[in-house]
Amino acid sequence: MTLRDQLEKIREERKQSIHDVDDLKKLDDLRVQLLGKKGPITQALRSMKDLPADERPSFGQFANKVRDELKNAIDDRNGELQQAALNFKLQHEKIDVTLPGAPVMQGQPHVIQQIVDQLEDLFMGMGYQVLSGPEVEEDKYNFEMMNLPKDHPARDMQDTFYITKEILMRTQTSPMQARTLEKHDFSKGPLKMISPGVVYRRDTDDPTHSHQFHQAEGLVIDKHITMADLNGTLELVAHTLFGDRFDVRLRPSYFPFTEPSVEADITCFNCGGKGCSVCKHTGWIEVLGAGMVHPNVLKMAGVDPNVFGGFAFGLGPDRFAMLKYGVDDIRNFYLNDVRFLTQFAKKG
């Protein structure tokens, strides 16, 4: 029997064998047996050297044709077997898609973020910009341009984490006021901004203090701004966050970057102003500091204090949340205790 006859016999017999295979593993074994390096087709091609030279081209073409036919037959059978396996799974492994899925708990913003969101919504509604700045800040912006030179004793109250002598973790979000004042073009209108963010101080953590907390600074600069504008703004903030039943009062105070300066108090939420241990029997609770922007702050930012003036205020979203919800330990906000945080599921 010639080599050509042998290949013809292999083609006919193996095509039937391929068609009869009913298992993917057996089909792969047959593929290796037929088309592998030790298979009959490979062996026949190696035997071409024994044929006369004029027969080799036609035999080579025939051998390649047989190999391709067998390969195609194997591929077709492979597809049929895979489809059959899939059909079997679809028939015997049904899933009832009408059954309800596993419930997924829906989260909500952190209670501090809820306070920040309320503040941002309120001030954006009044035409303020909401700006954020670097938490790693220059001493120049954090202190000096806030009228706190290097030898100023008020710096001791804001002792912070220094990276170098001139670079530190910011103690307040006020640096954004200085940065924005430097760039603002007053020919295009007044400056109205609020800057919420995280600040850092070397405080010992206790129920009312944290080395890291949130602050929101506000600033308005224009012509003819008065203390009455500040008072009206603070009343609106208090009524929005705490409700109309709370009154606001301003007390004289001192801040290096404002003159005159005030502390803002609201009616004690616990006793309604009658006096209790929470408010130390005064009927009031301090919530923020504010005042008219100091002329030195305007001068250092390149703004003429004889033409422009305005007010600034700083409040703590953490403290606002404590007052609003009666939380007695600021550390609860940062412990990530889900039992505590889910009490504030309703936004606002």
One-letter-per-residue 3-state SS of 14-68: HHHHHHHCCCHHHHHHHHHHHHCCCCHHHHHHHHHHHCCCCCHHHHHHHHHHHHH
Q: How many CB atoms lie within 10 A of CB 62?
A: 16
DSSP label of 168? E
Q: Read out DSSP for 295-334?
A: HHHHHHTT--TTT-EEEEEEE-HHHHHHHHHT---GGGGG
Which region, left, alpha or beta, applies to residue 273 given φ > 0 means left and ψ of -120 to 50 means alpha?
Answer: left
**Which residue pairs, CB below 8 angstroms and at least 24 apart, start in 298-302?**
298/181, 298/221, 300/144, 300/145, 300/147, 300/178, 301/145, 301/178, 301/181, 301/182, 302/181, 302/182
Question: What is the C-alpha separation between 129 and 193, in angstroms, rounded?
Answer: 4
Beta strands 212-222 and 258-267 are: unpaired
For residue 258 the two structure tokens come to 């404002």
Tell me: is residue 259 an annotated ligand-binding position: yes
Look-up: residue for tokens 């009658």? 274
- Binding-site annotation, residues for Mg(2+): 259
